Structure 1
């Protein structure tokens, strides 16, 4: 089955001011933005909804270390925050749960979809790995003092839900290895036909403008081997090309300076070999 993928970069289109950083930091400005996407080919559900960020280094050493896995697993370790600087302790001196820069920078743009002017729901259940939900994030750990300081980093959390049920956070905290990455936002369970118009109301809240990052909305179908992945194809071509060049180099070396196969003078027990040492 052919994978159909739609990518819409909206960070530049959803800003109504020249000062993009000032616009995104203004809490009084309505940041709603409507985008229209025409579907070129039929898309069979479930359709994966991703957000894509570029120039965001989740693999930065300080960023990756700024979390407390013990705190995420159990309320017994809620005060274990020594690895979470600078988002470890609230202004009142109490520990922040979840602490650290990764949780603090949680992505908080939202997307509302309609197809041909009919509202379409996005299923946000089971978007995180089941092992993360059941093992890494505790069902007895609830947010405390989160995003309560003077500088707000990203999304808010529901203080009435345990971390094991807050899947947007769980998905976000599985850090990406590359500066351009996608994370699953949800799934549209219905089919979308060719030439249908998808209208997306975007709440453009997340500040990528301060560091020159970009944001995109991605809709993609999947096949039995997953979604579209150009990296694997490029990797196969690159490794195949390198292997071919190495093979040609060895062939050339053998033609220029051949070595007789099975020459016994190279064996250590051949005492006639002048290099042999008793």
Structure 2
């Protein structure tokens, strides 16, 4: 410590010598910021003065704006038609003959003829190539009206937290873009689903991470019209999964991989889709696999919809339809549910009345406040001060040198 004190003292003495030897002006440098409008916070700004003459008309103006806007949103979203069936318990409650689905598992809305579609289901058991039980839930429902295009088929999951911080980042962006990322360059966010195998047999998982491994693999058939009006045979309503993902995902985020089949292996939960691993024939092309792209665009809430198919040209005519669902995805392990949803659309999206209700509530609040302030102002008005004193326009004050009281504040 004494060494440091001696060193500091010697440095101070050297500094004094240098200053004394220099033949320069001893001008003290001020640390005060420059006297500019920006640095001294004198920029012009709009500072409204809230008076009854300005606040009351503003509240009534907001009421006039929000009321028709809320009504139009409610009208548009209310007219969206949909059919929704929660099939989570199909393998438990259904049998080998069609029986009615409990009403708590169904939801429907039709704008012209809102009659019950008479939902029914049955379970079909079989054995897959692995010798495991394969179950198919067949659902029948009757549409009382024609549904105009576009028609969308969604699946809905509840209590599935895709927004978990580890789950959201559990993929490698370069890998899904198509780059053949080596083992030593792959992101650690994919752990623990980064490699499969041990020793020399260890291979990189493609695509790695939790999101791809938990891919929703229930399958939905196209709806089949059982009593077609113009034919004695059943008529299939075609849905496509082309163009159902974000355009930016198809063009930029996902690409065809440069890996060879011997370099990588599928995620563990994909073993039934790729029983023999990857080959030259079945190597997945993520750029065209739009169902996976939708799944990997993680949802922000635990209950969410994912688009599975759409038809933008043909009308879904009235009649009895049947749809088959391959039950592959377990939801009881996380206490969730899964549903199939067939719906139309509006300019504001799907059938969600929340936005319209919020606008109506705001309109009611502004109307009540505006009316209350107006009555109070008429019955017991409050004297308002002279605003000129705030601007320094009075000659009595300008003579004393004070030109703007607002700047003084």
TM range (shorter): 0.7 to 0.9
Q: Alignment partner of 2:133: what SS?
A: coil
Aligned with residue 66 of structure 1, among 170, 185, 188: 170
- Are 2:118 and 1:14 aligned? no
Q: Which residue of 2 aligns with 1:91?
A: 197
Contact 2:392–2:405 under 8 Å retained in 1:
no
- State the structure with bigger RCO (CA 8 A, min sep 6), 1 or 2: 1
Corresponding pairs, count: 266
Tell whether the 8 Å contact from 2:80 to 2:346 is kept in structure 1 after alignment: yes
> Aligned partners of 1:210, 1:114: CA distance in 2, in Å?
32
Q: Give the corresponding residue for 1:110.
A: 219
* Contact 1:146/1:156 (8 A) holds in 2: no
| Structure-2 separation of matches of 1:111 and 1:209 | 20
Q: Give 5+ residue unaligned stretches, structure 2.
A: 1-75, 95-129, 227-233
Using the alignment, how far apart are the partners of 1:34 and 1:82 within structure 2? 42
Which residue is 1:229 aligned to?
A: 352
Contact 2:163 2:298 in 1 (8 A): yes
Please identify the structure whose Cα radius of gyration is greater: 2
- Map 1:22-171 onto structure 2 (within 5 A): 28-77=132-181, 79=183, 80-92=186-198, 93-112=202-221, 113-116=223-226, 117-141=234-258, 144-148=264-268, 152=269, 156=273, 159-171=282-294
Q: Is the 8 A contact 1:108 1:205 kept in 2?
A: yes
Partner of 1:187: 310
Q: 1:243 to 1:51 in 2, by over 3 A?
A: farther
Deviation readout 1:39-97 (Å, 9 max, x if unpaired): 13211234111001111111111111111112111323354231112212223432211
CA RMSD of aligned residues (A): 3.7
Residues in 1 aligned to 2:383 and 2:206: alpha-carbon distance in whole angstroms: 67
| SS of residue paired to 2:138 | strand
- Which stretch of the first structure deviates more once superposed, 1-10 or 53-62? 1-10
Decide whether the 8 Å contact of 1:107 with 1:206 is kept in 2. yes
Q: TM-score, normalised by structure 2?
A: 0.55
Greater mean alpha carbon deviation, residues 90-99 or residues 198-207: 90-99
- 8 Å contact kept, 1:107–1:155: no
Q: What is the CA-CA distance between 1:253 and the residue it aligns to?
A: 10
Matched ranges for 1:236-251 at <5 A: 236-237=359-360, 239-240=362-363
